[in-house]
Amino acid sequence: MSSRKLQVVSPVPADIDIANSIVPLHISEIAKDLQLNPDHYDLYGKYKAKVLLSVFDELKERQDGYYVVVGGITPTPLGEGKSTTTVGLCQALGAFLDKKVVTTLRQPSQGPTFGIKGGAAGGGYSQVIPMDEFNLHLTGDIHAITAANNLLAAAIDTRIFHENTQKDAALFNRLCPPNKEGNREFNDIMFRRLKKFNITKTKPEDLTPEEVNKFARLDIDPDSITWRRVMDVNDRFLRKITVGQGPDEKGMVRETGFDISVASEIMAVLALTTSLSDMRERLGKMVIGNSKSGEPVTADDLGLGGALTVLMKDAINPTLMQTLEGTPVLVHAGPFANIAHGNSSIVADKIALKLVGPGGYVVTEAGFGSDIGTEKFMNIKCRYSGLKPQCAIIVATIRALKMHGGGPLVTAGKPLDRAYVTENVGLVEAGCVNLARHIENTKAYGVNVVVAVNKFSTDTDAEIAAVKNAALAAGAFDAVLCTHHAHGGKGAVELGIAVQKACENATQPLKFLYPLDISIKEKIEAIARSYGASGVEYSDQAEKQIEMYTKQGFSGLPICMAKTQYSFSDNASAKGAPSGFVLPIRDVRGSIGAGFIYPLVGTMSTMPGLPTRPCFYDIDVDTETGRVKGLS
């Protein structure tokens, strides 16, 4: 393999300085290690390549490797190092334990990169490189999503405009204009709409006036439109806007808004699709709102499913990159972890599992804590992919466990309280109730659970021992200390050995938390019980939406809970393992094309704002070398 040994220094330099100190291998070398030839990928410069879906077709008879998902305990606002642990583990497996391994990660949004959180390439000596390219444009997938999303948004408002200014006959004639020979024809996408109304006629002139009305007039209810425009920048002033104010729009004004691009349903479609044809169907099925009679209106009804697929046809191919130690990474998709499922793509995982083959490892990360990311990985992603993980990792830190044990508030941008940098075993032990619930919930899926204790310099031996003991008592397969941030793959070798044993000893089938053929409410309540809730309370709006989705035939979809990541409950300040609370469902919405219903537990922002001092203050370019400075 093309792995390289790191020369680590202490104290650990800034992430961008470490990334810039390493000259990446040409991506063709990484591809060669995976037995990919130049026909299997398209180069995007020296250090990135798009791996083509045809690779999976060529290798479909090969046995899969082991499948590992990385989740975490309920985090502090500072994060507990899931991405860093994912990368560090893969560096250990590939560069030190001589295993075939592929890391599969989400593509980060540029919003947090320039906003408050910074990048998402890992950290310290466990990173994906080139770090600046990973965190910025990459291979343009998010830009493709932005273009596709906004084309659909434009089509919605334009269709309402044209329907409001034309009668049925004129509208129909413009939708089906005569060709050069004077004949009218339906194109392929129009037959999808005709089929919706059981109209089997193939010539436009054969439609009755009633059929013309059904076909040509979508009759979109403006108040029902859920589709919003997107951009990949944090901009709070676009959360609520008014469109249609130009004089040529004839007073057709409505309120709407922007989301950040990664919140687009098209991103969730990309992450959950299994093939190009499957993506075409999912994009066409996306529901943008309802007609005034209450029927769902789709992208295909607007004539757009095929065009959206054309915009996304290159984005469906995962991007091959590398870690600091030369192990391969597939970066693909980056859906939100609250209103969407927060996991990288199915196609990347499927390709990776074939590339590593029997005895190899694919390690992927699930967003937020295990109550959100791992739950959605199991019940949504694995349900659609048909894949089963052998091992689930739960990343824990002494810092977060002290918070869950009753420690002072942890706030991003403020110094940690003394309780977090001095030994307090009692506080750690009290906080392990949070870890224990995550272990219990994750084990219920039939996987072996390994706890990775991500070490900080202020952690003591007694505190670490307390976490290990609590993890094993709660049923973890193993619990190990990791120093991959400071030492790279070498600091995660013990974790790699534990994961190997956990995978080799996995025997149980995957067990979902709920079946799909029960009601929407029953599924919501099954997830709520896993949080520790004693019941669920639905607002009038939520009741109305559940009734509507059930009537429209969407009750068989899985559930994607949009909930705070900072507590098992709806109350972000309720730390530890709260129980006996009633979970409030404020609203229920659907990503029908992606394939899930998402209940809103409280208010979810889909367009972040910039803080007083955003990360962009630190970002610049060295004009002598062209290198990026200040990315974190």
| pLDDT given at position 470 | 98
Q: What is the mean pLDDT of residues 537-546?
A: 97
Confidence grade of residue 602 (pLDDT, cut at 50, 70, 90): confident
pLDDT greater than 80 at residue 3: no
Helix axes 141-165, 168-175, angle to 10 degrees: 140
**In the chain, pLDDT over 70 holds for what percent of residues?**
99
3-state helix, strand, coil in the chain (%, to 5): 40, 15, 45
pLDDT greater than 80 at residue 469: yes
Q: What is the mean pLDDT of residues 72-101?
A: 96
Q: What is the mean pLDDT of residues 266-294?
A: 98
Residue 65 corresponds to which amino acid?
Answer: G
Contact by Cβ (8 Å): 300, 189: yes
Q: What is the mean pLDDT of residues 193-222?
A: 96
Tally helices (H) and strands (E) across the chain: 23, 24
Higher pLDDT, 113 or 503: 503
Q: What is the mean pLDDT of residues 559-570?
A: 96
**Bridge partner residues of 479 (DSSP):** 451
Confidence grade of residue 412 (pLDDT, cut at 50, 70, 90): confident
Three-state DSSP class for 581? Answer: coil
Residue with tokens 């002290």: 402
pLDDT greater than 70 at residue 117: no
CA distance 632 to 619: 9
pLDDT greater than 70 at residue 43: yes
Residue by residue, DSSP assigns 344-400 as --HHHHHHHHHHH-TT-EEEEEBSSSTTTHHHHIIIIIHHHH----SEEEEEE-HHH
Helix axes 209-216, 168-175, angle to 10 degrees: 70
628 CA to centre of own chain: 26
pLDDT greater than 90 at residue 630: no
Where does 190-295 show beta strands of DSSP type E?
A: 229-231, 241-243, 254-256, 258-260, 287-290
Query: With the C-alpha atoms ordered 77, 81, 82, 83, is the resulting torsion angle positive or negative?
Result: positive
Q: What is the mean pLDDT of residues 556-562?
A: 97
pLDDT greater than 80 at residue 116: no
Q: What is the mean pLDDT of residues 419-428?
A: 96
* Backbone phi, psi, residue 325, to 5°: -100, 15
Higher pLDDT, 286 or 627: 286
Helix axes 276-285, 305-312, angle to 10 degrees: 130
Confidence grade of residue 2 (pLDDT, cut at 50, 70, 90): low
CA distance 562 to 550: 19
Confidence grade of residue 119 (pLDDT, cut at 50, 70, 90): low
| pLDDT given at position 379 | 98
583 CA to centre of own chain: 24
Q: Which residues of 292-303 are buried (b: 16+ CB within 10 A; e: fewer)?
A: eeeebbbbbbbb
Q: What is the mean pLDDT of residues 301-326?
A: 98
| pLDDT given at position 250 | 85
Confidence grade of residue 188 (pLDDT, cut at 50, 70, 90): very high
**Bridge partner residues of 559 (DSSP):** 597
